[in-house]
Amino acid sequence: MRLILHTAGWLCALAVLLSVNTAQAQDLHTKSKVYGADNKCNIIMDQTKSAYTSTDMQARMVVVNGNNMGIYYLQHNYADNKHYAMWESLDGEIQGYAMRDKDGFDYNVDRRYLGHLSWHPTQIWNRIFDQNPDFESFSCVMTGRTRLAGYRVTLIRLVPQDGLRYTYLIARDDDTEMPIELAILSPEGEVLTKITAIDFNTTQKPFPHDDNIFESYAGRQKSIETVKPWKELNLPADFKLIGYGSLKDDNDNETSVYQEFSDGITSFRVYKSPRISVLMPTVSNGTLNIFRKVSGDSEYAVVGEVSIKLSESVLSNLSP
């Protein structure tokens, strides 16, 4: 498989590769506090995460990502100190994905398919509210109160201090302290993805997928203790190496190598492959982007849920 990304359709193909190591990213970040100038905002954000993490709930969710919109059924359960989440499409075929803590899988009931977890835009919701990420390098700011979808909500803005990562705008229900909406903004302020709860309830309902399935798709990670990030990369301080690997063609020849990095909320891979003649520098779809740059006889590509601005910074040390 060569890293020749001629169309936006390659975004989905490479996205399947991105989510395999998401669990490793979550293991790196276990702090619970949100830091910033607004202490009241920090407290409210902690309350929101705590309420969501410990609550059994079901909701219909509207997801707008780039040019796509979908309606999903979300079920969240907390049992035996484990966090369960299922996002199932309400459009067309019965399909979606399920997660138990850091492990997950994709499924399609109509096609009788069960497979490894791929990338989904809603996974950012899971990581922010259910995986206890580290927001130490974000400023937490309360921006007001309003009504949204019939709920009285408090608006919280999480702003990255580096100016490169996405900003997260959260609306949380004042009565239940549960999150109602998450908007993901580019560094320039453009809304890239919006996830909104149309309705939700907190009745107890058994999780529909058996624990044995999660055991079958538990993440198996390589040791990264002796692996160092490539010295030519300009990595943001909050992103840590979580994986590495290579891609091969049908004849088992290596076509590119990659390293993967995460801040606990989003992740990206940097691919390095031989230089090719056709170059499409940037492809975008919602929060997922591909940015490419040539240096000498090599071509680099940043692929993941990070801004173009951050991708450009990562490859800024490369010379033509």
Closest CA to 284 of 267, 305, 298: 305
Helices (H) then strands (E): counts for the chain: 6, 17
Using CA atoms, how far apart are residues 260 and 229, in angstroms rounded to an integer? 9
pLDDT classification of 222: cutoffs 50, 70, 90:
low
pLDDT at 15 > cutoff 50:
no
Q: Print burial letters for 265-280: b (CB count within 10 Å at least 16), e (below 16).
A: bbbbbbbbbeeeeeee
Residues 6 or more apart whose Cβ sits within 8 Å of residue 85 = 74, 75, 76, 77, 98, 99, 126, 130
Lowest mean pLDDT among 44-48, 49-53, 131-135: 131-135
Which helix (H) or strand (E) is 160 found in, with range? strand 151-160
Closest CA to 143 of 163, 162, 158: 158
pLDDT in the model for residue 220:
62
Amino acid at position 83, single letter: H
Dihedral angle, C-alpha 288, 294, 300, 303, nearest 10 °: 0
Evaluate if pTM is beyond 0.75.
Answer: yes
CATH 3.30.200.100 range(s) for the chain read 240-315
- Reported as a single tens digit per residue, the pLDDT across 189-219 is 999 999 999 888 888 899 999 999 998 887 6
pLDDT classification of 21: cutoffs 50, 70, 90:
very low
Residues 6 or more apart whose Cβ sits within 8 Å of residue 244 = 222, 224, 227, 257, 258, 259, 260
| Total Cβ atoms within 10 A of residue 189 | 7
In this structure, whether the domain defined by 36-217 belongs to CATH 3.40.640.10 is answered with no
In this structure, whether the domain defined by 240-315 belongs to CATH 3.30.200.100 is answered with yes
pLDDT in the model for residue 200:
86
Matching residue, tokens 């940037």: 282
Burial label for 112, CB within 10 Å (0-12, 13-18, 19+), is exposed
pLDDT in the model for residue 18:
46
CATH 2.50.20.10 range(s) for the chain read 36-217
- Reported as a single tens digit per residue, the pLDDT across 113-138 is 999 998 898 999 999 998 777 788 99
pLDDT in the model for residue 56:
94
| Total Cβ atoms within 10 A of residue 157 | 20
pLDDT in the model for residue 218:
77
